[in-house]
Structure 1
Amino acid sequence: MRDRLALPCTALAVLLAVLAPLAAPGYVLAYDMVFVPHQPLRAELIWPAATLPRAVPLDALVSLSATVAPGWLVQRVVLAAIVLLAATGAGRLVPAGRLLTRMVAAVGYAWTPYLAERLLLGQWGLLLAYAALPWLIAAALRLRDGNRRALLGVLGFGALAAVTPTGGLIALVAVVVLAPVGRPAWSAGAVGGVALLNAPWAMAGLLTGADGRSDPAGVAAFAARGTDWTGPLGALAGTGGIWNAQATLPSRTSPLAAVGTLLLLALAGYGWHLLRRRRAELAIRLAVLAAGGFLLAVLAVLPGVAGGLEWLVAHVPGAGVLRDGQKFLIPYALLLCLCAALGAERLGRRPVLIGALLLPVVLLPDLAGGGFGRLRPVSYPADFAVVAARIDREPGAVVSLPFAAYRTYPWNDGRTVLDPLPRYVDADVLVDDRLIVGDRVVRGEDRRAEAVREALAAGRPLSGLGVRWVVVQRVVGGAGIPPTALSGFHLVHAGIDLQLYEYRSSQTSY
């Protein structure tokens, strides 16, 4: 009994250490992570008409969950599931390992720079794929061993990964690589089933009005970033290297981070032989997945290659998914953690295994406590509910000002977050879909947003664009709004955090 509980208890300990701030009430709002009390289900969330389906079917699933649970509870369930599934899945995937070895793999996979950076960036949908991959691979291996019922596990964890396009692609390639040999019907069921799970975002991408080609400037903007003397390659080798410096914990810039990465690589190299001896199929096929993912991650920083990638995303529809190549490190992170755990076991001493168990925490101590408080929940100001209720009574197109994709609110402790208004109100909310990374501006796809930008720049009234509502938000360091932009609009709610304006004589709408 104690042995059976050791792995779940290890996962629970990691969960409590990482997500302790979520015991407080409210919502964690960090970059792309936006949960609201009850997110409405709109056609735009299922089938975006003017943008690429980056959050399909993720947003629609969140809206459906709002029919049975409040947003704060949904957020806590999914974040807890990420940590618990990642830790237990990695631990269970260790072939014939000692219990302590499984615990080392569990802590290692649930305490990586990859998980920390994507969590701070708010990309919890991608982290569901991160958590699902060990379980998906385990199910695929059971299918190869002749267990037909494992097909349900492949499809179930494939569905969890496919809530985002990147996760769905990783799951699909993993199933293709691990598909059972000699059982064509089972292989077809696994590969075809996971391919169908990717259909929501794939079909939405084919039928959207947005240009499927992407701004090549995004290649440099999203390229892997070094945090110490080892540069981007060293950061990627340690599963880090995210493009956003604000999503990187301070410990990643210390000299200890590079030393720790070298130590992990040495342990993993020593453990590779043990993994291959115990389960050759897992070792070889996971290595293929890891090598492919690592290659995609380094494309934008390899000399002479970035130009080709820029051409690809600028001319091939859908190739923009390759811009942020660091996302594809998931299989590499899993292989690194499994091999490092087996390397510590191969050294044969219990103190070595205990040291390996604590090593991820020592190298990344500031992931604890939600990144030392960076994932602290807050409450929405009352203005949001008031404005949402007013717009719901008389629906119409909404412009959110200042016109930017991300907000820095004083009530959110100055942390940056994606504008919550499009998820809070049951209306079509126009926001700036460009992404600004340092001094680089990555072009958006929404022609309606472009029209709003042009009107604001030219000082023309927004009423000429068929807008019914304008919401002016109180943000930190927000740009000024041209007085002419609100010409013809009437103030209907003057709150501390939100002001709502209505254009009553509008005759056209989006």
Structure 2
Amino acid sequence: MAASITAPLAAPGYLLIRDAVSTPRSYLTDTALGVTEAAPRAVPQDFFIAVMTVLVDGGVLVKALLAVGLWLAGWGAARLAARLVPAAGVPGELVAATIAVWNPFVAERLLQGHWSLLVGYGCLPWIALTVTRLRSATDVGAWCILAFWIALAGLTPTGTVLALIVGMAAIAAPGNGTGCSRRRLAGSVSIVAILAAMPWLVASGLGTAIPAGDEAGVHAFAARAEPGLSTLGSLASLGGMWNASAVPASRSTLFALAFSAVLLIVVVVGVTVLWRTQTAFGLIGIAIAAVVIPTLLATGPGLTLTTWLITEVPGLGILRDGQKWVALAMPAYAVAGAAAVTALRERPSQWVAAGLACAALVFTLPDLAWGVGGRVESVTYPAGWGAIAAKINAEPHPVAVLPPETLRQYPWGPSSIPVLDPFPRWIRADTVTSGDLRVDGQDVRGDGGRGRRVAELLRAGAAPRELSAEGIGWVVVQANTPGEQGLSSRTLAQLEPVYRDGDIALYRVPGPWAPIAASLSRRIAVIAAHLVWVTLLLAGGAAAVTGLRERRHQR
């Protein structure tokens, strides 16, 4: 299933769709470390990519991580089902894996470009599995493996929160007296999650801006009802994405009703079985909350409450995207899918029921296959992009980009799909941008005040000295992409042209440039926090590999 979804990405090129940006190289800029004025939303993801692209092409790395994330979701769901519902056997494991991989959440997050969130999503059943094992037996290796899964989920701050919640929910699993107590396990999961979140927590605590809420932003990112379904029905069927453009075509037809009916019937039957056997109570509880709470927050009073929370409480901007929390329902849905098979006592009947359930789920969401109907595919950058990146990397002064909009549409990119500007990820210098977005006709203000000032200067045709006063050393002009450039041609006429072709142009801003950069102490502190995360990842990964080898040797 993971291969059939990501198959178009096997072609040469780079993942580039909405928020997903991959480039040949990335660098440890202040933006990548999360020490600019913008909120540290992509830590430690950008740090990891910057380090790994020294060894591996960024396009190969990101596409491989995405495919592995989906594969982990299916495999982990099957393993979790095997532990919690052993009577379901292989038929139940197949249903669990299908529910975990083949659902609207995966399709919609793929179309939105949230590849690192999908990696975290794939870790959730493994976290639940490891915690339930620790309730029965505890050893150092299991603790290291738990640290690995939480750290891997923590590629994005949301992933760390999801991992913490799932880990806490799985603690409700019954123990046998020889495992770890619930209190000790809860404390340990919390500590590991805090350590995994250190890059985000330290970057935020050292003065990096945390975006305040605004009514337009909260409304734009609230969960939404898909055609034919209420908001509750959309979320309950693992859909409800806030961006109507990032929804598979089948979710706007009767296929949406059919998929929702199949999924919810299977889950309800399974929950009934689990309720009788008193299994997975914690996971079921967070699944219900993950559907009901975002539904309530999408109502008028809920939107008002969310706006107040993320405005008044620092760090709660993470609540703005309500639909992403339905990822918490996946482990319970998968286990319930496996349990539903056991409602039939005869094994041949279980195989038939599992086959019908899997086929119905796949055929009622047919366009998840082949990159969500061909919309997720590899792209190739024009040659000029690499040439300009090399020139800037030789003299890494801060860069301003025209048009100044955050989202782009390129003739060589994914057709009719806006993408985040990939250029900032490709250069050693920091790119100054406002982060302003337009979502479903609503303007959502970003947190880049300096970037907004620079954009206004360019649109007003400001003199070069005004750009250099903001620390800008280069101006890049991307052709053939929509955006308001105002009187920027007046400014460009006063700059030194360095490179130009039909796709992109580079201009040098004469110095001297005002030194605007994060202090050395802040960089050191944030890098140290990232190294804590790396230690969790490497130590846990080594323990996992060692444990796997030992089990194979014992066999």
Question: Per-residue CA shift, 1:293-334, capped at 9, x if unaligned?
Answer: 224422332242221111111221111111101111112133
Confirm or deny that 1:164 pairs with 2:156.
Answer: yes
Alpha-carbon shift at residue 174 of structure 1 (Å): 2.4
CA distance in structure 1 between the aligned counterparts of 2:364 and 2:115, rounded to whole angstroms: 23
* Larger CA deviation: 179-188 vs 191-200: 179-188
CA distance in structure 2 between the aligned counterparts of 1:212 and 1:478, rounded to whole angstroms: 24
Alpha-carbon shift at residue 462 of structure 1 (Å): 5.5
CA distance in structure 1 between the aligned counterparts of 2:229 and 2:377, rounded to whole angstroms: 32
For 2:306, the equivalent position in structure 1 comes to: 309
Asked whether the equivalents of residues 51 and 208 of structure 1 are also in contact (C-alpha less than 8 Å), the reply is no
The equivalences for 1:97-108 within 5 A come to 97-108=88-99
CA distance in structure 1 between the aligned counterparts of 2:294 and 2:319, rounded to whole angstroms: 8
Asked whether the equivalents of residues 433 and 448 of structure 2 are also in contact (C-alpha less than 8 Å), the reply is no
For 1:8, the equivalent position in structure 2 comes to: none
Q: Which has the higher contact order (CA 8 A, sep 6+)?
A: 2
Alpha-carbon shift at residue 493 of structure 1 (Å): 0.4
Confirm or deny that 1:133 pairs with 2:124.
Answer: yes
Confirm or deny that 1:77 pairs with 2:64.
Answer: yes
CA distance in structure 2 between the aligned counterparts of 1:126 and 1:75, rounded to whole angstroms: 12
For 2:388, the equivalent position in structure 1 comes to: 387
Count of residue correspondences: 495
Letter in 2 for 1:123: H
The equivalences for 1:38-437 within 5 A come to 38-94=25-81, 95-96=85-86, 97-148=88-139, 149-179=141-171, 182=181, 184-278=183-277, 280-281=278-279, 283-347=280-344, 349=349, 350-414=351-415, 415-437=417-439
CA distance in structure 2 between the aligned counterparts of 1:98 and 1:126, rounded to whole angstroms: 30
For 2:525, the equivalent position in structure 1 comes to: none
Asked whether the equivalents of residues 158 and 171 of structure 1 are also in contact (C-alpha less than 8 Å), the reply is yes
Letter in 1 for 2:22: F
Provide closer, same or farther for how the CA distance between residues 462 and 251 of structure 1 changes in structure 2, counting only shifts above 3 A.
Answer: farther
Asked whether the equivalents of residues 398 and 428 of structure 1 are also in contact (C-alpha less than 8 Å), the reply is yes
Confirm or deny that 1:473 pairs with 2:470.
Answer: no
CA distance in structure 1 between the aligned counterparts of 2:169 and 2:265, rounded to whole angstroms: 26
Asked whether the equivalents of residues 82 and 127 of structure 1 are also in contact (C-alpha less than 8 Å), the reply is yes
Alpha-carbon shift at residue 336 of structure 1 (Å): 2.1
Asked whether the equivalents of residues 225 and 243 of structure 1 are also in contact (C-alpha less than 8 Å), the reply is yes
Asked whether the equivalents of residues 290 and 335 of structure 1 are also in contact (C-alpha less than 8 Å), the reply is yes
* Larger CA deviation: 293-302 vs 60-69: 293-302
SS at match of 1:375: coil
CA distance in structure 2 between the aligned counterparts of 1:365 and 1:188, rounded to whole angstroms: 43
Alpha-carbon shift at residue 133 of structure 1 (Å): 0.2
Provide closer, same or farther for how the CA distance between residues 336 and 184 of structure 1 changes in structure 2, counting only shifts above 3 A.
Answer: closer
Asked whether the equivalents of residues 168 and 197 of structure 1 are also in contact (C-alpha less than 8 Å), the reply is yes
Asked whether the equivalents of residues 45 and 56 of structure 1 are also in contact (C-alpha less than 8 Å), the reply is yes
CA distance in structure 1 between the aligned counterparts of 2:26 and 2:344, rounded to whole angstroms: 52
Alpha-carbon shift at residue 19 of structure 1 (Å): 1.2
Asked whether the equivalents of residues 402 and 481 of structure 1 are also in contact (C-alpha less than 8 Å), the reply is no
Give ranges in structure 2 of 5+ residues lacking alignment.
172-178, 517-555
CA distance in structure 2 between the aligned counterparts of 1:212 and 1:473, rounded to whole angstroms: 28
Give ranges in structure 1 of 5+ residues lacking alignment.
1-13
Asked whether the equivalents of residues 3 and 67 of structure 2 are also in contact (C-alpha less than 8 Å), the reply is no
CA distance in structure 2 between the aligned counterparts of 1:326 and 1:132, rounded to whole angstroms: 18
Asked whether the equivalents of residues 5 and 370 of structure 2 are also in contact (C-alpha less than 8 Å), the reply is yes
Alpha-carbon shift at residue 487 of structure 1 (Å): 4.8
Alpha-carbon shift at residue 411 of structure 1 (Å): 0.8
CA distance in structure 1 between the aligned counterparts of 2:152 and 2:339, rounded to whole angstroms: 28
For 1:485, the equivalent position in structure 2 comes to: 491
Letter in 1 for 2:78: G
SS at match of 1:504: coil
Provide closer, same or farther for how the CA distance between residues 203 and 507 of structure 1 changes in structure 2, counting only shifts above 3 A.
Answer: closer
Asked whether the equivalents of residues 435 and 443 of structure 1 are also in contact (C-alpha less than 8 Å), the reply is yes
* Larger CA deviation: 388-397 vs 342-351: 342-351
CA distance in structure 1 between the aligned counterparts of 2:364 and 2:338, rounded to whole angstroms: 16
SS at match of 1:411: coil
CA distance in structure 2 between the aligned counterparts of 1:418 and 1:216, rounded to whole angstroms: 23
Question: Per-residue CA shift, 1:264-295, capped at 9, x if unaligned?
Answer: 212211111323445x35x2110222233224
Provide closer, same or farther for how the CA distance between residues 397 and 54 of structure 1 changes in structure 2, counting only shifts above 3 A.
Answer: same
SS at match of 2:227: coil
For 1:460, the equivalent position in structure 2 comes to: 462
CA distance in structure 1 between the aligned counterparts of 2:297 and 2:437, rounded to whole angstroms: 18
CA distance in structure 1 between the aligned counterparts of 2:185 and 2:212, rounded to whole angstroms: 35
Alpha-carbon shift at residue 181 of structure 1 (Å): 6.4
CA distance in structure 1 between the aligned counterparts of 2:513 and 2:303, rounded to whole angstroms: 48
* Larger CA deviation: 80-89 vs 497-506: 497-506
Task: Give the TM-score, by structure 1 length.
Answer: 0.92
For 1:6, the equivalent position in structure 2 comes to: none
CA distance in structure 2 between the aligned counterparts of 1:212 and 1:400, rounded to whole angstroms: 22
CA distance in structure 2 between the aligned counterparts of 1:171 and 1:480, rounded to whole angstroms: 43
Letter in 2 for 1:404: E
CA distance in structure 2 between the aligned counterparts of 1:492 and 1:386, rounded to whole angstroms: 11
CA distance in structure 1 between the aligned counterparts of 2:480 and 2:343, rounded to whole angstroms: 54
For 1:447, the equivalent position in structure 2 comes to: 449
Letter in 2 for 1:475: N
Letter in 2 for 1:257: A
Asked whether the equivalents of residues 34 and 42 of structure 2 are also in contact (C-alpha less than 8 Å), the reply is no
Task: Give the TM-score, by structure 2 length.
Answer: 0.85
Letter in 2 for 1:431: T
Asked whether the equivalents of residues 296 and 328 of structure 1 are also in contact (C-alpha less than 8 Å), the reply is no
2:511 to 483, 505, 508: 505
Question: Per-residue CA shift, 1:404-459, capped at 9, x if unaligned?
Answer: 11111111143321101111011011223012112211111112112123324544
Alpha-carbon shift at residue 213 of structure 1 (Å): 2.3
Asked whether the equivalents of residues 96 and 333 of structure 2 are also in contact (C-alpha less than 8 Å), the reply is no
For 1:20, the equivalent position in structure 2 comes to: 7
For 1:34, the equivalent position in structure 2 comes to: 21
Letter in 2 for 1:113: P
* Larger CA deviation: 288-297 vs 163-172: 288-297
Letter in 1 for 2:207: T
